[in-house]
Structure 1
């Protein structure tokens, strides 16, 4: 170190005394041989040499003494630096290797959710997003859920078509990379980024984990799920709806061994096999009570296929999509039976099914989507901001359905004035509150406001919706732990605790279930990597 030579600088040179002794030895010469000049040089010069040497040694000692005093601060500074480094090294290293969201109720989220704020940061409106208009039509289908309808049997319609696909190595595993780019948000780093930016947190993910555990316990040995409401006989709709939260969480029937938490691949496989076993050559399902049920099962099949590209699913998924497209009514809507006309609520489920098929790279007709938008024009207010049942109106539930259909099928974005007005209507009139627990409204409206983004989502909707669902979930040990009690609306009446829990879970998974529309459709996936 720099202070080592300083510490020895004060020592006298080993020959310090020898030098003056050597100077004292003067060669004698006879007096008779010396003149005055020689005596001056030879007798007085040694004295000058001795005096000069003495002063030189004194000056060296003086410099060494005082330079040694200034060395102390250097040593102190070095010690200070060493101390800081040691303290830094003693900090516990953060564990950033936590695998993708598991499904243990006490498992922390893959993001550092404990460092996140209760409210997410406001996401600005994307100015470059395409501006839509109320009369604009598009070419895309949809994905989501709704209440079962009347117990009416549908005639056969549609045929099974579509070539077989191939399975991409490594696809289908929880935490892996899914075959369809539009579903990448359900796993890995993209899921982590979407959860954080969208406003999810550790508590919301823990609620999802508990809910999936409860759902898994409700499955029957043959793979079906059963509603505990008035639609108990509609096992096709119940099974399709119950599969969706598992798929949204990033698990499939091909998921490998989970690195942490629970693996539900066997449960998912059993549920999918049940749906396949109930499907008719027409594409519809035996026991499906209405087009509601058909669409819900279609969403599950399309998502499972899109995430894995499993060829054994492709024929079933395409077949039910064909049935839905062929069953559209002459005014662009769908009724309880294939080929009949219907209402906004049924249309919502068909659009969601078609959209999930489009995301999964299955064949969907653009013309079908345009006709559906024509029907929506007939049930919306002149501005296109609010929607009714079969005529112009403006109820919160149907407005939420109508706006989601517009986002999926007509590419309405934040710059669309009708969408902006509709979102404002939903936020002001239907903001989440425990005294008004209607999961049908919340499920649709949450998706609409989430895709809209901005302060309406980050401040006005998401914190209230997220925290209300977390608080209302049953957390005490028992048969209902992880579920939500049947809501006071149509879902609770028809689908009971099972249906309410499914929609509550999908609402808490909204952050990563679907990539933001502008990122998915505008090729902005790399922005999330």
Structure 2
């Protein structure tokens, strides 16, 4: 700014006035842009400061004014206590089977570190005893010589599984996809399972895994302790039913991959592939069948070529060991009883469901003839121990016979003999209290489940009460009877009392395995036969 003085001007009183000062401002020399900046920048600065202050106050004070979120309980109450299950939509998750959140919440005594395995089941030291690593015969699929066809049981290279006489023209489906993914979730929800039953499965698998021995096998804690292959087979089945295998999957995290891998390795080492004993895991046919089922299921689920020769060899031995009357006895080639036949048929069914293992028609037809021998009633709806024993409805042997008919004679839910048989089972439903007879409940639950309809809802969830709720079903009974106190038995079931076959011979390990398989019935096997095309739709939705 500059200043310039001018000539003094007289004031009103005659005295000379002070010199006027004329100020000449240089504002005219500023540009429009500079004036704009000087005008608005201060406002922007003030506005920014105000916003920063407000945000700081919100951060400082807002948390103290909002109540902390309460943890959401993910475990549903059972339908025995209330009608609605508000969290039922959780069952539509990709795989609610072994929920990782459930496992991480398990008490320390039931938890396992994440298990991994670098490769699938190894063939090291497996197969022919003392075979050299370069001996390829140890991996050859065993066949039978011509002379073997003179034996009571035979094995061929072709065969049609559904070769029985009582079929109802149902659709035959591969059942293993029901054990994972969207199909498992749908089967679980529609079949009557819930989050509480799945939590029981998670707890039970965790307990089973802790009982595995260092050699990969398991051992019964009561009764038949020497039958380790049977104990191993029985313990593996609940893991496989839950979708756990020995191979990694891009679609599912395998929490028990190493557990299953080591268990299968134990069975493979017990199964020679060549020689007179090819395929013989045990001389006891009960044990042979129980050990063969997981080999066939694991192969069917993974198509692992390493497993195939062992599964086929074990199945061949079963077929070759069939007795003259179509049954199986305790020893190879002898006549036996309905109970032993039940396990052989489950092994044959698992083999055929794999789609790649061979089951001979002649073995199946002879087994059907044995069922005819031990059946009772005009519709063959009840079964006895042997052809000389009296067949009665609603027994464990009747449940075994009906399940065998379902698998090898085409008996679906519309077959008259199956309907009458299920009606007999419904007169001997689950009851409250400790586990009574898991042998019966294991078989009967499968039969009624495959029968579907109102009978299944009553069996699974209990009879309908006056208020519309259901109480006293198999599902809630098993969940409530499981050991839930932290400790060595957490997740297991007490051995059945009263001389029950499973508890007496297989102890806590066998009882727990059978309880788990019963709770996994919703998705362990897709139905072979439906009253409608629901099973086909499930597969299409997958």
TM-score range, shorter chain: 0.5 to 0.7
Structural mapping, 1:106-505, within 5 Å: 106=102, 181-256=174-249, 263-280=255-272, 281=274, 282-285=277-280, 288=282, 290-361=284-355, 362-382=357-377, 383-391=379-387, 392-394=390-392, 396-434=395-433, 437-463=436-462, 464-488=473-497, 489-505=500-516
Q: CA deviation at 1:364?
A: 0.4
Change in CA separation of 1:422 and 1:230 when aligned onto 2, cut-off 3 Å: same
Structure 1, gaps ≥5 residues long = 1-91, 109-155, 164-179
Cα gap change, 1:449 to 1:422, in 2 (>3 Å): same
CA distance in structure 2 between the aligned counterparts of 1:467 and 1:97, rounded to whole angstroms: 22
CA gap 1:233/1:251 in 2 versus in 1, 3 angstroms: same
Q: TM-score, normalised by structure 2?
A: 0.64
User: Secondary structure of 1:517's match?
Assistant: coil
Give the C-alpha shift of residue 107 in structure 1. Answer: 5.8
| Separation of aligned partners in 2, 1:162 and 1:317 | 15
- In the TM superposition, what is the alpha-carbon distance from 1:499 to its structure 2 partner? 0.2
Measured at CA, do residues 434 and 304 of structure 1 come closer, stay the same or move farther in structure 2, by a change above 3 Å?
same
CA displacement, residues 468-524 of structure 1 (integer Å, 9 cap, x when unaligned): 100000011000000001112100000000000000000000000000122699866
- What SS is found at the alignment partner of 2:427? helix
CA contact (8 A) 1:400 1:448 kept: yes
SS in 1 for 2:428: helix
Contact 2:385 2:397 in 1 (8 A): yes
Would the aligned equivalents of 2:178 and 2:526 in 1 still touch at CA under 8 Å? yes
CA distance in 1, matches of 2:103, 2:268: 33
Query: Which residue of structure 1 aligns with residue 75 of structure 2?
Result: none
Q: Which has the higher contact order (CA 8 A, sep 6+)?
A: 1
Let me know the Cα RMSD of the aligned residues.
2.8
Contact 1:252 1:304 in 2 (8 A): yes
Structure 2 unaligned regions, length at least 5: 1-71, 73-88, 105-150, 159-172, 463-472
Name the structure 2 match of 1:517: 528
How many positions carry a matched residue from both structures? 372
Supply the distance in 2 between the matched residues of 1:327 and 1:357 (Cα, whole angstroms). Answer: 16
- CA displacement, residues 113-169 of structure 1 (integer Å, 9 cap, x when unaligned): xxxxxxxxxxxxxxxxxxxxxxxxxxxxxxxxxxxxxxxxxxx99999989xxxxxx
Give, in angstroms, the shift of residue 100 of structure 1: 4.6
Normalised by the length of structure 1, the TM-score is: 0.66
> 1:386, CA displacement in angstroms?
0.7
The SS at the match of 2:328 is coil
C-alpha contact 2:284 2:331 (8 A) present in aligned 1: yes
CA–CA distance in structure 2, aligned partners of residues 162 and 347 of structure 1: 22
